[in-house]
Each structure stands twice: as structure tokens, then as C-alpha cells.
Amino acid sequence: MNPSRPLIGALLSFLSVSFVHTPSPALAQTCGSAGLAMQVLGSGGPEVEDKRASTSYLIWENGRARVVLDAGGGSALRFGESGARMSQVDVFLFSHFHVDHSSDFPALVFSSWFGDRTRPLPVYGPSGNEIMPSTTEFVHDLFSDPHGAWRYLSEMVEPNPEGTYELQPHNVAPTSVPVLVFRNTGMAVYAVSVVHGAFPALAWRVEIAGRRIVFSGDTNGEGQGLTQLASGADIFVAHNAVPEGATGLERRLHMPPSVIGTIAANAHVKQLVLSHRMLRTLGKEDETQTEIRRRYSGPIRFANDLDCFPLN
Ligand SMILES: [Zn+2]
């Protein structure tokens, strides 16, 4: 008797169980399969040392990933891990075009080139200025002939009959009060300009299935626009990029916990989610929470990659 045969049989049986019949975790959708949910794809800032994907969020409705907001580094992998498919997405929103909010956009687009999307994809983001491209410039700088970095995908912006689908970028004009930007079945999307140093930036509100999901994006919290936008939000995602007491450039770009707490309280938000966590705020959660608690009494959650917030 050849003693190796049972071993080989056992090994084959193990392989068939482990690799054929077990669903891949990368394809298992666990968020938003029924009802409404917001999923954090990237909870980090620009630093890779935080071991988090950079900013990105998904809104699920009944198993469909309907809205993507931002696509920072690492978030394309998280998008795949979430089980989302680009063919499901109704609209792609950008808060602004810093690398940690936009660098995985071409990765998602090229991934979707292999998928089954045929309908156009609207892409909304800020207008540009002398230091940042507008949303239309950003998309064309990536994909257009003859100067786009990935002009081999120019069919995404200059459709031809053999192309897959068309990216349709739009610039949102600066606005100090929330404006309706996009509508789709059962969904309305509003934006307002926020202050992020000299970089054009938007905060976003998605109204869907009777709920309001609001994303601050990166901002120092100046002005009343964000409070108006966040009014009555079921979830307010605020960026915890700097600790209390931050000064100089950090403070000109980002809001400390006291400002987040004031906005959350004044807007009467029902739940606060803190994301865009950086080395300078990670480990300071107790202090951050204490500062916010002085002003805001609702639930506070610190986000991690792939966290799911159901809204049923
Ligand atoms: Zn950022």
C-alpha cells in the first residue's frame, strides 16, 4: 500500500474545502445588504504609518453601493473588500483633491474597466483655483488625450463605441450655503464650500431613504455653511485630523475637537463619527472625546477601516 495516497487525498480534500467551497472574504458583503448604511472605506489621513486607508466612504442601499465619497490611497482595496462594485455606483463625490482624498480614483476606474458598467458615471467636486485643479481638470488630467497621465484610458472621457462607460465630471461653484447638486432615484445630494486653507473644498450631505448623511471633508470649521449642511444629520462624519490646541498650518487646515463638538451640537446631529485619524490624534481619543463632550451629548464613534453604520 502506498502510504502517500491517503495523504494526497486528504490534502486535495482540504484544498477543495479551503479554496473552492469557502467564500472569499474579499467578496463577502457584510454592510448594507438590506436597508441603508454608511461604510468607512478609509479612516486614515495621508500618513501610511497609521496603517489605515486614506479617506473614502460608501453609502449602501439594499446591497447596492450607491455613493462613493473620496478615494484616498488604499481605499480601492477596501472598496473591493467591502464587496462593492463600480457598476452599482450612481454618483462619485470629491471633497477636494489632496492626494489622501483622490489618489485611488484611477485605480477604481481601471478596475471598473474590467467590470460590467455601461452607464455614465457622474463625478462631482470643487471648482479649481491657482493651486488646485477643478474636478473637470482633475479627471481630464488623468485620462484625456494627449496629456493625461493615463491617456491610454481616454475612452473614459472621450467615449467611443468600443468604450466601456463615460466619466462625466462636474464642478460645483463655490457656495456659502448648501445647494442641491445631484438627484437620482430616492436620493438628493447637497454641497457647501468649507475652509481648508487655500484649497477649494466641499462638505457633502446625502439625503436618501429619509435619512441625512453628512461628511465634513477636510476643513478648519470656519463659517456657518457646515453647520447648516449638517442640520439634523443622522450621521455626521467629521475629520479628526488635529488635536485640541493645534496651531499654525495644522489649525488653518483642520478643526480641533472643540470645533467639531460645537458644530455637532449646533446642528443637532444624531450621531458623530470621527474619521481621517492621524498620528497626531491617534492615542488621544480620551482627550478628544472629553473636548467634544463639553459641547455635544450624542453618540460618538471613532472610525476604523470598513466600519459599517447601519441606518435602518
Ligand atoms: Zn485629508
CA of 100 to the centre of ligand 1 (A): 5
Does the pLDDT of residue 19 top 70, yes or no?
no
CA of 196 to the centre of ligand 1 (A): 10
CA of 202 to the centre of ligand 1 (A): 12
Going from the C-alpha of 133 to that of each of 96, 127, 149, the distances in angstroms are 9, 7, 14
Give burial (CB, 10 Å; 0-12/13-18/19+) of 160: exposed
Mean pLDDT of 202-228: 98
Q: What is the pLDDT of residue 18?
A: 40
> Rounded to whole angstroms, how far apart are CA atoms 294 and 265?
10
CA of 86 to the centre of ligand 1 (A): 23
Helix count and strand count (H, E) for the chain: 9, 14
Residues making up the chain, counted from first to last: 312
Mean pLDDT of 304-308: 98
CA of 98 to the centre of ligand 1 (A): 6
Mean pLDDT of 191-204: 98
CA of 54 to the centre of ligand 1 (A): 8
Does the pLDDT of residue 12 top 70, yes or no?
no
Q: What is the pLDDT of residue 27?
A: 54
In one-letter notation, the amino acid at residue 183 is R
CA of 277 to the centre of ligand 1 (A): 9
- pLDDT, tens digit, for every residue of 52-86? 999 999 999 999 999 999 999 999 999 999 999 99
Other beta carbons within 10 Å of 174: 14
pTM value is 0.91
Q: What is the pLDDT of residue 28?
A: 61
Q: Using an 8 Å Cβ cutoff, are 167 and 120 in contact?
A: yes
Give burial (CB, 10 Å; 0-12/13-18/19+) of 286: exposed
CA of 254 to the centre of ligand 1 (A): 9
CA of 218 to the centre of ligand 1 (A): 6
Strands 36-42 and 179-184: unpaired
State the DSSP H helix or E strand holding residue 285, giving kind and residue range, or none if neither: helix 285-293
End-to-end C-alpha distance for the chain, whole angstroms = 61
Other beta carbons within 10 Å of 303: 23
Give burial (CB, 10 Å; 0-12/13-18/19+) of 153: buried
> Rounded to whole angstroms, how far apart are CA atoms 136 and 254?
26
CA of 2 to the centre of ligand 1 (A): 62
CA of 45 to the centre of ligand 1 (A): 5
CA of 101 to the centre of ligand 1 (A): 6
Q: What is the pLDDT of residue 161?
A: 79
Radius of gyration of the chain (CA): 21
Q: What is the pLDDT of residue 16?
A: 40
Other beta carbons within 10 Å of 275: 26
With a CB cutoff of 8 Å and minimum separation 6, the contacts of 47 are: 278, 279
CA of 7 to the centre of ligand 1 (A): 53
CA of 312 to the centre of ligand 1 (A): 29
CA of 94 to the centre of ligand 1 (A): 11
CA of 304 to the centre of ligand 1 (A): 15
CA of 107 to the centre of ligand 1 (A): 18
Going from the C-alpha of 144 to that of each of 19, 49, 92, the distances in angstroms are 41, 33, 19
Which pLDDT band, with edges at 50, 70 and 90, does 163 fall under? Answer: confident
Determine if residue 184 is left, alpha or beta; phi over 0 gives left, psi from -120 to 50 gives alpha, anything else beta.
beta
